[in-house]
Structure 1
Amino acid sequence: MQDSTTLKSRRRADYGYFLKYRTRWSDNDQYSHINNSVYYHLFDSIVNAYLIAQCSLRPQASQSIGLVVSSHCQFFSPLSFPQVLDLALRVNKLGKSSVTYEVAVFSEDNEYPAAVGGYTHVFVDSSSRKSAEIEGQIRAGLEKLFLQDGRKKSQSKL
């Protein structure tokens, strides 16, 4: 995980995939800002949207699935309904069977993120739950988002 100063200084150009999200009244908590738990819903939404649309993942038919083994989020400024958000995705680490995603949440038309977080997926066989290598279209799609400081990074083996 990156330090807070690095994450807060991220810009839209540091990410390779974007998804719009229109906040809902139910996203707000009693303090009139988006509840912390909603951010993890947003992270899950953009990661899985990318895996399905860009990596040809078919969750119900796939022999391997990604399980979340760790997650984090740092908050920099509040967001609330009725804002429209831009979710941004990048891959910070890509190993043999694991991938670490970073997601930034931007208010529409803002260059600085309101929150940055993400999680690590470990891919496993859907039946046995034993570690499975990330291969084929999934790996190719993830490699497209494998960035560090806005530059494409060479593949690492974890």
Structure 2
Amino acid sequence: MPTSVLKSRTRTDYPYFLTYRTRWSDNDQYGHINNSIYYHLFDSVINSYLIAHCGISPSSPDSSSPIGLVVSSHCEFFQPLSFPQTLVLGLRVNKLGRTSVEYEVGVFSQDADEVAAVGGYTHVFVGKTSRRPVKDGMGEQLRKGLEMLRFEDGTEKKARL
């Protein structure tokens, strides 16, 4: 997606939010949040949503439950953020396939409507033990939960959460 489109994102472009209170250790030697921390943030908002709304239980001993493996990731940075800011992480789904999903995360300072960073990753859902894409596609509960975050042609498909 073009950088100009990502940079123009606002909170209204995301249906799900998670708040994150930055820590002193999130800052790098230049006084802003280290680039690697953004990937921790993406992982937190995505997996929090999957657990709460999609029936995913990563620590379940049930070997028939699918797990999501990250196959690609990205991040565009627009404004520096740093401790002690509180951040708001917005989540949406840009593409939803039979066994894969492309997430987008907008990172906002608590009081700002302008996005500070946009990134995300693609999950492929695989069997826990086989590590192969699930044959029947993702389950109904998982798909239904992800559909709630799906955007098509720049418009939200489902009601906000």
Q: Does TM-score exceed 0.5, indicating one fold?
A: yes
Q: Secondary structure, in 3 states, of the residue corresponding to 1:110? A: coil
Q: TM-score, normalised by structure 1?
A: 0.93
Map of 2:19 onto structure 1: 20
Per the TM alignment, residue 150 of structure 1 is displaced from its structure 2 partner at its CA by 3.5
* Equivalent residue, structure 1, for 2:5: 6
Structure 2 portions without partners, runs of 5+: none
2:126 aligned with 1:124, yes or no?
yes
Matches within 5 A, 1:142-153: 142-148=146-152, 149-152=154-157
Q: CA deviation at 1:32?
A: 0.1
AA aligned to 1:131 is: P
Uncovered stretches (5+) of structure 1, i.e. residues with no partner: 154-158
Distance in 1 separating the partners of 2:114 and 2:12 = 11
The C-alpha deviation readout for 1:115-145, integer Å capped at 9, x for no partner, is: 0000000000001111111112111000000
Q: Quote the Cα distance in structure 1 between the aligned partners of 2:155 and 2:85.
A: 26
The one of 137, 140, 145 aligned to 2:144: 140
- Residues 23, 82 of structure 1: 8 Å contact kept: yes
Deviation per CA, 1:100-128: give whole Å up to 9, x if none. 00000000121111000000000000011
- Range with bigger deviation, 95-104 or 62-71: 62-71
Q: How many residues align?
A: 152
How far apart are 1:55 and its partner, in Å?
0.8
- 1:104 corresponds to: 106
Q: Distance in 1 between the 2:138 and 2:150 partners?
A: 14
Structure 1 segment 27-106 matched on structure 2, within 5 A: 27-61=26-60, 62=62, 63-106=65-108
The code of the aligned residue for 1:3 comes to P
- Shift of residue 59 of structure 1? 1.0
The 1-side partners of 2:86 and 2:146 are apart by: 26
CA RMSD of aligned residues (A): 1.1
Match of 1:156 in 2: none
TM-superposition CA deviations, 1:49-83 (whole Å, max 9, x none) = 00001112111225210000000000000000000
